[in-house]
Amino acid sequence: MEEKKGYSATAKYLMISPSKVRPVADLVRRKPYPEAVAILEAMPQKGSHLILKVLQSACANALDRNKKIDEENLFVSELCVDEGPRLKRVWPRSHGRRDILLRRMSHITVTVDEKASVRK
């Protein structure tokens, strides 16, 4: 089995639909860490705040495990937004009817790695 490279962080069971988070994730995938943070801080979407927290956690994991790494040399190597479980809720309708409302959840996984030119 192939060993994963990089340092990762995961946030699970976030109450936001994956379809709302994925367009934000596409903007920062494969970007340098400082540029990705700047992009996410400037965006008004809820998903950008959630991705930013996971990205900062992955960076902290990298710096904690390897003291020689500099933040400037990190980049977002993987960013996955997967679907979590769905909560079924009742939505009252007219004439005593009801509809099913699906509350979707997301799992966000971010992996950061060193730039190849910096490795020795």
- Cβ(111)–Cβ(77) under 8 Å? yes
pLDDT recorded at residue 1: 45
Query: Structural domain of residue 55, as residue ranges?
Result: 8-114
Give me the residue label for tokens 């946030």. 11
pLDDT per residue as tens, the chain (120 positions): 445 678 999 999 999 999 999 999 999 999 999 999 999 999 999 999 999 999 999 999 998 888 788 888 899 999 999 999 999 999 999 999 999 999 999 999 999 998 875 555
pLDDT recorded at residue 117: 58
> Does residue 90 sit within a domain?
yes
- Rounded to whole angstroms, the Cα distance separating 116 from 114 reads 6
- Rounded to whole angstroms, the Cα distance separating 51 from 25 reads 7
CATH of the domain at 40: 3.90.470.10
pLDDT recorded at residue 16: 96
pLDDT recorded at residue 42: 96
pLDDT recorded at residue 68: 82
φ and ψ of 29, to 5 deg: -65, 135
Q: What pTM did the predictor assign?
A: 0.86
Q: How many domains does the chain have?
A: 1
> Does residue 36 sit within a domain?
yes
What residues does 24 pair with on adjacent strands? none
DSSP annotation of 39 reads: H
> Does residue 78 sit within a domain?
yes
SS3 of residue 109 by DSSP:
strand
pLDDT recorded at residue 64: 87
- Rounded to whole angstroms, the Cα distance separating 112 from 73 reads 10
